[in-house]
Amino acid sequence: MIEPLKLLAEGLSLAHPEMVLGFDLTRGLAPANAGDELSIHAARDHLLPVLEWLYKNPDYQFTQLLSICGADYPSAAERFQVVYHLLSMKKNLRVRVYVTTDEATAVPSACGLFPCAGWYERETYDLYGVVFAGHTDLRRILTDYGFEGHPLRKDFPLTGHVELRYDPAQMRVVYEPVKLTQDYRRFDFLSPWEGMTAVQLPGDEKATKPAA
C-alpha cells in the first residue's frame, strides 16, 4: 500500500505546493506492508484546503476524521503540534496531517468539514490551550469548572494548581491551593543504589569504597 500513499503525497505537493511543507512516508512490515504511514506537514493557514482536498479527492475520499491530538515541544519556535488522523474507507488508507502553532495563534477549526472535530478540538484546547478559530463552543471538556492551566503542557506542574476535598462542615466539595504537607525525598542523582555499601557501583561516587 506504499505506492498509493506515495502518489497521494506527490500529487498534493505538486498540485498545491503552497499548502504542503513536506511529508514523511514510512514503510510498514512485510509481506503485506501493514502499517504503511503517510504524514503530511501542512501550512497552518492552508490546513482547511488540505483537509478538504483529502476529503473530496475522488481517488481517495478521506471522509473519516478519527481523532485530533496535540503535542508540546517547548523549545520549538512554535511549541504546539496539532495532528489530524484521517481514514479512507474506500482505499483502507490512513494519513496524518500536522500543523504547528504557538500559544497565541489560532488554528482553523475543521468543524465545517468534519462535525466530530468539535469534540476533538475542545479536548486539544482543554489539555494544551490550543485555540481553534471558528469553533462555536470552544470550552473545556475533560477538566473541571474553574480549572487553571492546561495539564498536558510540559511546563504544567505535576501537583497541579488546586486540590479538592470534601468538607464535612460545609457538606460540599471545596477547592484549595495545593499544599505540600510533607517534604519529598531529595535526590542528588549520585547514588542510585542508596545503602549498598558492600560494593562500589558505577555512578555511586559519594559512597565509601569498600576495603579490599
pLDDT in tens, 170-201: 999 888 888 765 555 454 555 555 555 566 65
Question: How many other CB atoms are found less than 10 A from the CB of residue 12?
Answer: 22
Q: How confident is the model at residue 205 (pLDDT cuts 50, 70, 90)?
A: low
Q: How confident is the model at residue 153 (pLDDT cuts 50, 70, 90)?
A: very high
Domain boundaries of the chain, sorted by first residue: 2-142, 146-212
Q: Per DSSP, what are the bridge partners of residue 87?
A: 64, 94
Q: Which of 151-155, 158-162, 186-190, 207-211 has the lowest mean pLDDT?
A: 186-190
The CATH number assigned to the domain with range 2-142 reads 3.30.460.80
User: Is a pLDDT exceeding 60 seen at residue 56?
Assistant: yes
pLDDT at 181: 59
The whole-angstrom separation of Cα 111 and Cα 134 is 8
Report which secondary-structure segment, H or E, holds 10: helix 2-15
pLDDT at 204: 57
**Mean pLDDT, rounded, of the chain:** 84
For 99-149, the pLDDT digits (tens) are 999 999 999 999 999 999 999 999 999 999 999 999 999 999 998 877 889
Please state the pTM of the whole predicted model.
Answer: 0.77
Residues in the chain: 212
Q: How confident is the model at residue 159 (pLDDT cuts 50, 70, 90)?
A: confident
CA distances from 180 to 134, 160, 176 (A): 41, 11, 12
pLDDT at 33: 47
pLDDT at 209: 62
User: Is a pLDDT exceeding 90 seen at residue 1?
Assistant: no
Q: Per DSSP, what are the bridge partners of residue 71?
A: 81
The whole-angstrom separation of Cα 20 and Cα 176 is 47
Pairing assessment for the beta strands 37-42 and 93-101 based on DSSP bridges:
parallel
Q: How confident is the model at residue 41 (pLDDT cuts 50, 70, 90)?
A: very high
C-alpha cell at 105: 495563534
C-alpha cell at 46: 492552508
